[in-house]
Structure 1
């Protein structure tokens, strides 16, 4: 077991953006479920269960899409800024274990 210290010199902007989009989809799905349950409950209390279900499903879909878009954009911005900052502050140090 060898521990090698290395420094991340550059992040692939598209790679980080895609990974962040996947995390955004998961987050959007979870938030969409919360919103869907809340809307379904509110509409059910108002006496229109069918409208609540439709609105809840729409909220779920919209939150997934928004999570993917903002995750992608946010990840791309973070990777781009990281790559710019490397010249000033250096990279992130990582200890890797090689078997």
Structure 2
């Protein structure tokens, strides 16, 4: 097994990865929010069901976008901080087979 060190991470590369991961998390959260809003809306009658439907559709569209953008930005910030710290600490040790 060879030991290697990661000394630098591509800023946009990590931003894209974090954005995709957080977008998937946002899709799951949006689906759960849709189910909850439809259930709660159906308990409030016809007007509540319409509001629940609109809120549910909005959340399954808005949450993945919102989470994805926040993930992209946090990935960029994380990569920038890692690159600075790795310069002082000597990098991240990994073993490859």
TM-score, normalization by structure 1: 0.91
> What CA distance in whole angstroms lies between the structure 2 residues aligned with 1:86 and 1:21?
23
SS in 1 for 2:4: strand
Partner of 1:58: 58
SS in 2 for 1:43: helix
Partner of 2:83: 83
Q: Give, in angstroms, the shift of residue 42 of structure 1.
A: 1.0
Partner of 1:73: 73
**Unaligned 5+ runs, structure 1:** none
**Count of paired positions:** 95
Q: Give, in angstroms, the shift of residue 87 of structure 1.
A: 2.1
- What RMSD, in angstroms, separates the aligned Cα atoms of the two structures? 0.9
TM-score, normalization by structure 2: 0.92
